């Protein structure tokens, strides 16, 4: 989704299904500047030494991100121990990006991202709930079984101690989005050095294969 808009559907681009292409053959064709970009300046990473950081840039307002989420979750569950995966909500897409950034980081502080990431996407893109503005998000939280709505409201408030920490996380998310020069979401950053999105990869299934390749490249030093 814009900044640049791109399709997730390989078939709409006339591409062969990824499974039909041998992995080694596919990876041998990956080219910097064509399938992915190399950052001119390394971006900061949060992963500990010895781990390769992979960042997904996304927005809850983005329908492409919602479509991509099941594949991303399945991929993330199979990551090897040397890969550290995290998400970063971008400061664009829709008319209330800060609200959606705060929603994500509140769930993160509660350790509830795994349980509610897909539920937020479903609320917006399938159930068409108008989750715009703080009041709507808090009302949504009140209705979620298994989510401590009182705790959520406390953390979500920008005036609380935790809310101020979230504000700093939002600022860092915006900085990282700019450092990776994210052109559209969903997108993936690897090791503070590489960037791939649906436009470069031509579809997000292929982007995940390119990301695996870039993790291997990053481990080479």
Residue 27's pLDDT is what? 58
Q: What is the pLDDT of residues 3-25, one digit of tens each?
A: 544 333 333 333 333 344 445 54
Q: Which residues neighbour 188 within 8 Å (Cβ) at sequence distance 6 or greater?
A: 54, 55, 56, 57, 195, 196, 197, 207, 208, 211
Where do the structural domains in the chain lie, given as residue ranges? 11-219
Query: What is 11-219's CATH number?
Result: 3.40.30.10
Tokens of residue 2, six digits: 């814009």
* Sign of the dihedral through C-alpha 172, 174, 175, 177: positive
At 57, phi and psi to the nearest 5?
-95, 130
Calculate helix-pair angle for 161-179, 97-109, nearest 10 degrees.
Answer: 120
Question: What's residue 26's pLDDT?
Answer: 57
How far, in Å, are 80, 136, 206 from residue 106 at the CA level? 27, 15, 31
How far apart (Å, rounded) are the C-alpha atoms in residues 137 and 60?
12
Q: pLDDT digit string (tens) for 121-178?
A: 999 999 999 999 999 999 999 999 999 999 999 999 999 999 999 999 999 999 999 9
15-55: pLDDT as tens digits: 333 344 445 545 567 999 999 999 999 999 999 999 999 99
Burial 155-185 (b: 16+ CB within 10 A, else e): bbbeeeebbeebbebbeebbebbebbebbbb
Per the rule left: phi > 0, alpha: psi between -120 and 50, beta: everything else, 79 is beta
Confirm if 64 and 186 have CB atoms less than 8 A apart. yes
């Amino acid at each position: 989704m814009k900044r640049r808009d791109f399709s997730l559907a390989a078939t709409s681009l006339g591409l062969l299904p990824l499974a039909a292409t041998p992995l080694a053959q596919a990876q041998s064709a990956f080219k910097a500047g064509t399938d992915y970009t190399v950052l001119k300046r390394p971006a900061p990473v949060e992963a500990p030494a010895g781990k390769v950081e992979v960042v997904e840039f996304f927005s809850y307002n983005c329908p492409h991100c919602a479509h991509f989420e099941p594949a991303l979750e399945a991929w993330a569950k199979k990551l090897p121990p040397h890969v550290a995966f995290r998400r970063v909500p971008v400061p664009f897409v829709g008319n209330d990006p800060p609200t959606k950034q705060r929603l994500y980081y509140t769930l993160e502080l509660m350790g509830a991202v795994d349980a509610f990431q897909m539920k937020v996407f479903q609320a917006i893109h399938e159930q068409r709930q108008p989750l715009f503005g703080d009041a709507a998000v808090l009302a949504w939280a009140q209705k979620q079984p298994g989510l401590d709505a009182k705790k959520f409201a406390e953390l979500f408030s920008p005036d609380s101690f935790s809310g101020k920490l979230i504000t700093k996380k939002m600022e860092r998310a915006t900085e990282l989005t700019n450092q990776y020069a994210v052109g559209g979401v969903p997108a993936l950053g690897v090791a503070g050095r590489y960037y791939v999105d649906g436009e470069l990869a031509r579809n997000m299934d292929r982007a995940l294969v390119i990301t695996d390749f870039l993790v291997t490249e990053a481990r080479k030093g």
